[in-house]
Each structure stands twice: as C-alpha cells, then as structure tokens.
C-alpha cells in the first residue's frame, strides 16, 4: 500500500478503522515549530463523528497522543508520530461483509488484491476513519502556514440539489475563512443549511444518502510556487486530495464551467495592484502552467453519496457465488461531504506547506 503524500513534508497515515488505533507520521517538519493544541482540537472536532443528528453517531474522542518529534510544545526536527485510539467500534456490524461485499465499497476489490488478508472491518484502511490523522497533520501544517500569512479554509457549496453561495475567488479574506470554520455542517449560508438539514432528515428516514461539493481556498500564497509539468500545483494537490475516500471529481477555478465559456470571458486580464502585476479575475483558480499566480488557490471537490445505506442492495455471496440481497446496518452519514470539509482543508494545507519547501520557495524557519 502507498499511504503517503508530500515530497518535502511527507505525511504517512497508518491503521484500520476497527484496529486499536490509527495515526500519522510527519517527516520533514522543521525544528522549533510551535504546536497549537487548541487549533488541533478544534479541527479534529469539525471532522469527528457524533457532532449532530446529520452525521454518523459513532463517537470517538479523537485526542492524539504524540509519540515522537514533539518536546515542550515544539517540533524537534525528527519525524513526528501521533496515534489516535479507536474507542467506539462495532465490528459485529461488519462480520458478514467479508462474504457479502457492499456495493460502491472496496470490499471485493481489496479481497481480490490482498487475498482476504486485509482487515476490512469498518472499511479497514480504506475507511473514512483514516481521515482523522490527515486532519491532525493538516492542522499542524496550517499553523505553520498562518505564521507566514497563508490561510486555508473550506465549506460546502452543494448538497444534493441545494446550492450555497461560493466564495469571491479574488477578494476572499481570512475573516471569510474563519467564518466558514465556525459554520454548522460546513455551510455558512443559513437558508441553504436549513434546506440541507431538512433533506438529510428525509434521507435518514428513507435509508438513503446524497453527495456534495466542497469549495476550498488557500489565500496568501506567493507567486511562483509549483514546478511544471508533472510537479505543478494542480498535479500535487490532485494526487493528495484523491487520498480522501469518496472523492469523485476535482476542478480548479471555473473548472468544468469553462467548457461553456468564451476565451474573452474566461481569460484573467492582468492589472497593477500596489505596483504589482496580478490577474484581475480568477477563473484560473490561482494557478497557471502549474504555478501559483498570487491570487487565492480555489478548488472544488465532488463527493459521492454515502455508499452505506439502509436500503436493500444487490450483491453476491462470494462463498457460493450466488446473488443475494444486502441490507447494511450500523451508523453511517447520509452525506459524507459534510465531514469531508475539514479533510479537504487539511490536505490542501499539507500540500501548500510542502510547496513552500521546493527549491525557490519562500519557507524560512
């Protein structure tokens, strides 16, 4: 398995959903970086289950225990390792699934690839549970970014057919991102959030689920980060974001809407701001030729509906190769995109910090 992202800041996650613990090793952090326990706890709480009636009621404290790389509240320069205990598992909910794979899960694929040896309880290493250590790593990287005037924030702009306003791709501020981080369900628009809550209540009663779209912005990035062609900003961020389970689509700036635009509308004309050249609009999403433009780095990530639903679904019993109906029990989100918001934010922060360490980057301890 390859569960590592980053070139300069290398983040390796480990563990399984129903194992004793999950965790992360972060290699490449400079010595002397202050670790903000409260900021980490706040970010972990945004991702954690059991926060509202609209997400799974599995309850995990998600309090990390640092095993190495941290001394007196600062990084030491050696690999930082942290573990998060799994304390609220119900493995019996998954006992039959080794023989009856769930649709739209990795159950069958993993059984074929690993010969039945993978621990697939709760989804095993493929589970969204493994995003907790990603959020931990992202919170640490976000702290380093903020010290250099760079901030990252994400929010939901679509759940099913319910839409919420997008960020201003040019003028988004740190105050805007702070407001998003406080928003219930990751959605700052109150009217849209109420419609989403009603939708999720209906889906829970129906035993069904829905997908969603997450918008993320990184502001304050300097011009000139990224190395074309294969090491461009979009390349590296895309590879990292696709480690998040359930992600099915990714776009930057205007994204797929650019297909219907004229060049005269999509092009970002240059202007002078305080004697500095920068684009006047941001259809490019803050990246041209794989290199940052200095405007906000804007991405949109699409998440599929939660595949674990209470409705009967068709499957195949592997031991007898016979068709069989499957009804999934357990505790599951009607929309995984809600808890994906801080994960997208975290992964983006990891990649942004990683980019600053490239040759010609601006990171300095």
With CA atoms as reference, report the closest residue to 298 among 178, 190, 180, 152: 152
Element spanning 41, H or E: helix 37-47
The answer on whether 129 is annotated among ligand-binding residues is no
User: The tokens of 14 are what?
Assistant: 């480990």
| Dist. CA 33–CA 72, nearest whole Å | 11
pLDDT band at 116 (very low <50, low <70, confident <90, very high): confident
Residues contacting residue 234 through CB under 8 Å, at least 6 positions apart: 252, 287, 290
| Dist. CA 154–CA 287, nearest whole Å | 18
pLDDT digits (tens, 9 = 90+) for 58-87: 456 688 999 999 999 999 999 999 999 998
Set out the domains of the chain in order of their start, with CATH numbers: 4-356 (3.60.150.10)
pLDDT band at 364 (very low <50, low <70, confident <90, very high): very low
Mean pLDDT in the chain?
A: 91
With CA atoms as reference, report the closest residue to 218 among 344, 126, 324, 100: 344
The answer on whether 308 is annotated among ligand-binding residues is yes
HSE, side-chain direction, 13 A CA sphere, residue 65: 8
CA distances from 212 to 23, 71, 267 (A): 27, 40, 28
pLDDT at 285 over 50: yes
The answer on whether 289 is annotated among ligand-binding residues is yes
Annotate 146-164 with DSSP letters as a single string.
HTTT-EEEEEEEEETTEE-
The answer on whether 305 is annotated among ligand-binding residues is yes
> Is 262 exposed, middle or buried (CB count within 10 Å of its CB: 0-12, 13-18, 19+)?
exposed
The answer on whether 264 is annotated among ligand-binding residues is no
> Is 173 exposed, middle or buried (CB count within 10 Å of its CB: 0-12, 13-18, 19+)?
middle
| Dist. CA 289–CA 320, nearest whole Å | 53
pLDDT value at residue 173: 97
pLDDT digits (tens, 9 = 90+) for 312-340: 999 999 999 999 999 887 768 899 999 99
The answer on whether 331 is annotated among ligand-binding residues is yes
| Dist. CA 71–CA 69, nearest whole Å | 7
How open is the CA angle 296-298-299, to the nearest 5 degrees? Answer: 160
Angle, in degrees to the nearest 10, between helices 131-146 and 37-47: 140
Q: Could you tell me whether strands 74-75 and 70-71 are parallel, antiparallel, or unpaired per DSSP bridges?
A: antiparallel
The answer on whether 304 is annotated among ligand-binding residues is yes
* 131: three-class secondary structure by DSSP: helix
Annotate 227-272 with DSSP letters as a single string.
BTTTBSHHHHHHHHHTTSTTEEEEEETTGGGGGGS-HHHHS--EEE
pLDDT value at residue 229: 87
Indicate the pTM of the whole model.
0.93
| Dist. CA 356–CA 14, nearest whole Å | 25
């Amino acid at each position: 398995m390859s569960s590592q992202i980053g070139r300069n800041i290398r983040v390796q996650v480990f563990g399984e959903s129903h194992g004793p613990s999950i965790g992360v090793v972060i290699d490449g952090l400079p010595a002397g970086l202050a670790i903000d326990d409260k900021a980490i706890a706040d970010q972990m709480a945004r991702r954690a289950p059991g926060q509202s009636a609209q997400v799974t009621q599995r309850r995990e404290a998600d309090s990390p225990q640092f095993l190495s790389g941290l001394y007196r509240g600062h990084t030491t320069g050696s690999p930082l390792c942290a573990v998060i205990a799994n304390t609220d598992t119900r493995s019996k909910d998954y006992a039959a699934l080794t023989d009856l794979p769930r649709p739209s899960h990795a159950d069958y694929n993993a059984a074929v690839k690993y010969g039945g040896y993978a621990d697939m309880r709760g989804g095993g290493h493929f589970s969204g549970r493994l995003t907790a250590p990603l959020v931990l790593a992202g919170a640490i990287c976000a702290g380093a970014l903020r010290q250099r005037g760079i901030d990252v924030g994400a929010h939901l702009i679509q759940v099913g057919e319910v839409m919420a306003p997008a960020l201003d791709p040019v003028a988004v501020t740190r105050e805007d991102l702070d407001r998003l981080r406080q928003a219930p369900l990751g959605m700052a628009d109150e009217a849209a959030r109420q419609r989403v809550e009603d939708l999720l209540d209906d889906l829970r009663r129906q035993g069904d689920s829905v997908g969603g779209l997450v918008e993320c912005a990184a502001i304050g990035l300097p011009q000139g980060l990224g190395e074309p062609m294969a090491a461009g900003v979009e390349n590296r961020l895309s590879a990292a974001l696709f480690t998040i389970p359930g992600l099915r689509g990714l776009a930057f700036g205007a994204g797929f809407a650019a297909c219907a635009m004229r060049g005269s509308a999509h092009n970002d004309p240059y202007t002078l701001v305080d004697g500095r050249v920068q684009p006047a609009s941001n259809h490019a999403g803050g990246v041209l030729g794989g290199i940052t433009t200095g405007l906000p780095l804007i991405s949109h990530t699409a998440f599929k509906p939660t595949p674990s639903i209470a409705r009967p679904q068709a499957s195949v019993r592997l031991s007898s190769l016979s068709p069989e109906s499957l009804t999934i029990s357990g505790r599951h989100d009607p929309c995984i995109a809600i808890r994906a918001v801080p994960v997208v934010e975290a992964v983006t922060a990891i990649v942004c910090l990683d980019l600053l360490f490239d040759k010609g980057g601006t990171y300095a301890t």
